[in-house]
């Protein structure tokens, strides 16, 4: 039996892939405008990077990591996200000494053993941005505005920015206790996972998708009522800068995110048209993670966008300009003229392919049809003798002779038609 791609993974093929590459090019350009540099970390890391970074009692670490022992028995994990890896790299290369504020972005695959469904894969792709070295609320707002601009420039509408604060070391314990007190009064109504979470990490319960838990959570105490002065004023300033930058948002008091490293600001961008997996991106501030992973005491902020979901939202919309390919058909055994013609086209910046396999005019045209091509240049021996080419437009089933020396000009006119 033929081998298929592993469940939850897929091949991204043309024409869809063109939207991916065009998007990536635009994203890279935009990020540089905001002072970000690209970083490429390895696809796998020592498991510790993620278990310590993301938190032992998160779904990701608990049940979704691709972890295996390498040949020397070391525990290795395929990255389920990239923030922890980037922090590992930041610490390893002492980036804190390179710049007061370091702005990094990445584009690449992540791996989570989740139940595949629409918009959810086991290998998926993220674009992410991380800023190290500033606790200013302007960084939160500016980095959110950057991705909102990216989505806007791609023509996306129907997006919603949900934002909340998860407090800090000062105020979260107080909230945690209040939440735990409330949840213990509703223990019976919680799912099995949440009964455990209630003890180890009660904020995780706010994130549970099980209906019974959601009902309990609806009346739970809000973290907004427990924020300390510092967190409250940080949030107010983030809102102020978002207003200034023209980003609309909604305070979503139940938003806590599925990873443990966040402090203060957390946010998600929701796309109305996505169904259950409607978060197109998420992120927030993580002021303690660098230190927790053994580095200096450096605050940070970042987000990651799910590219598979972004592509779903884009649907059939094309980000790229369709550029015509010219199929050069040798007619007969003489390849030289066709090769020269294709080279001239490529020199002019056009896309050209020689149909070296075509045994006849008919088989050549069939190949072009199957590829969805439009323009064919017949370049056989008799054309060579007359220094002409026959330019055929498959769409209109018309053809005409052109002088080889006028090739570039003729092609330009043809495309403009």
- Using the minimum distance from each CB to ligand HAM, give the nearer residue, 241 or 261: 261
The rounded distance, in Å, linking the Cα atoms of 128 and 283 is 9
Contact (CB, 8 A) for 81 and 304: yes
- Using the minimum distance from each CB to ligand HAM, give the nearer residue, 122 or 384: 122
SS (H, E, C) 168-183: CCCCHHHHHHHHHHHH
Whole-angstrom CA distances from 303 to 37, 81, 204, 339 are 15, 11, 19, 49
The rounded distance, in Å, linking the Cα atoms of 392 and 335 is 19
Question: Measured at CB, which residue is nearest to ligand HAM?
Answer: 306
Nearest one of 283, 282, 280, 241 to 262, comparing CA atoms: 283
Contact (CB, 8 A) for 130 and 86: yes
Q: With the C-alpha atoms ordered 215, 221, 223, 224, is the resulting torsion angle positive or negative? A: positive
Query: C-beta of 304: minimal distance to ligand HAM in Å?
Result: 4
Query: C-beta of 348: minimal distance to ligand HAM in Å?
Result: 41
Query: C-beta of 120: minimal distance to ligand HAM in Å?
Result: 4
The rounded distance, in Å, linking the Cα atoms of 371 and 374 is 9
The rounded distance, in Å, linking the Cα atoms of 414 and 348 is 14
The dihedrals phi and psi of 88, each to the nearest 5 degrees, come to -55, -45
Contact (CB, 8 A) for 202 and 250: no
Query: C-beta of 266: minimal distance to ligand HAM in Å?
Result: 9
- Using the minimum distance from each CB to ligand HAM, give the nearer residue, 159 or 339: 159
- Using the minimum distance from each CB to ligand HAM, give the nearer residue, 111 or 326: 111
- Using the minimum distance from each CB to ligand HAM, give the nearer residue, 126 or 235: 126
Provide the binding-site residues for ligand HAM, judged by CB under 6 A: 81, 83, 112, 114, 119-121, 124, 126, 128, 130, 258-259, 279-284, 286, 302-304, 306, 308-309
Query: C-beta of 263: minimal distance to ligand HAM in Å?
Result: 11
Query: C-beta of 125: minimal distance to ligand HAM in Å?
Result: 8
Structure tokens belonging to residue 160: 């919603």
- Using the minimum distance from each CB to ligand HAM, give the nearer residue, 103 or 374: 103
- Using the minimum distance from each CB to ligand HAM, give the nearer residue, 90 or 326: 90
Calculate ∠ Cα 199-200-202, nearest 5°: 70
Contact (CB, 8 A) for 249 and 162: yes
3-state DSSP helix/strand/coil % of the chain, to nearest 5: 40, 20, 35
Query: C-beta of 160: minimal distance to ligand HAM in Å?
Result: 13
- Using the minimum distance from each CB to ligand HAM, give the nearer residue, 83 or 164: 83
Contact (CB, 8 A) for 24 and 107: yes
Query: C-beta of 224: minimal distance to ligand HAM in Å?
Result: 21
- Using the minimum distance from each CB to ligand HAM, give the nearer residue, 193 or 340: 193
Nearest one of 179, 251, 172 to 216, comparing CA atoms: 179
Query: C-beta of 280: minimal distance to ligand HAM in Å?
Result: 5
């Amino acid at each position: 039996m033929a081998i298929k791609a592993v469940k939850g993974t897929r091949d991204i093929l043309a024409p869809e892939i063109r939207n991916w590459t065009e998007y990536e090019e635009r994203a890279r350009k935009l990020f540089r405008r905001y002072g970000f540099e690209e970083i490429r970390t390895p696809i796998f890391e020592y498991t510790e990077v993620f278990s310590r970074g993301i938190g032992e009692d998160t779904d990701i670490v608990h049940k979704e990591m691709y972890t295996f022992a390498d040949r020397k028995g070391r525990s290795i994990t395929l990255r389920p996200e990239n923030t922890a890896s980037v922090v590992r790299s930041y610490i390893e290369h002492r980036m804190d000494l390179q710049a007061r504020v370091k702005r990094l972005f990445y584009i690449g695959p992540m791996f989570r053993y989740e139940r595949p469904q629409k918009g959810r894969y086991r290998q998926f792709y993220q674009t992410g941005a991380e800023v190290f070295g500033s606790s200013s609320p302007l960084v939160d707002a500016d980095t959110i505005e950057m991705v909102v601009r990216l989505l806007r420039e791609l023509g996306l509408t129907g997006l919603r920015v949900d934002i909340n604060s998860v407090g800090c070391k000062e105020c979260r314990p107080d909230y945690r206790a209040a939440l735990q007190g409330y949840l213990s009064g509703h223990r019976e109504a919680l799912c099995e996972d949440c009964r455990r979470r209630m003890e180890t990490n009660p904020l995780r319960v706010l994130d549970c998708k099980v209906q019974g838990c959601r009902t309990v959570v609806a009346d739970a105490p809000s973290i907004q009522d427990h924020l300390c002065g510092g967190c409250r004023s940080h949030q107010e300033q983030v809102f102020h800068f978002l207003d200034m930058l023209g980003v609309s948002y909604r305070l979503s008091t139940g938003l806590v995110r599925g990873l443990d490293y966040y402090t203060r600001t957390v946010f998600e961008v929701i796309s109305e048209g996505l169904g259950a997996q409607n978060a197109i991106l998420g992120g927030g501030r993580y002021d303690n993670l660098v230190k927790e992973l053994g580095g200096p005491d450096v605050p940070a902020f970042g987000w990651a966008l799910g590219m598979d979901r972004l592509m779903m939202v884009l649907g059939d919309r094309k980000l790229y300009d369709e550029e015509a390919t010219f199929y050069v058909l040798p007619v007969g055994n003489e390849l030289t003229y066709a090769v020269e013609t294709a080279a001239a086209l490529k020199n002019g910046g056009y896309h050209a392919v020689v149909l070296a396999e075509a045994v006849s005019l008919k088989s050549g045209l069939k190949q072009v049809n199957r590829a969805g091509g439009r323009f064919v240049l017949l370049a056989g021996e008799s054309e060579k003798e007359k220094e002409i080419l026959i330019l055929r437009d498959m769409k209109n089933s018309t053809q005409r002779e052109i002088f080889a020396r006028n090739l570039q000009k003729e092609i330009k006119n043809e495309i403009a038609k």
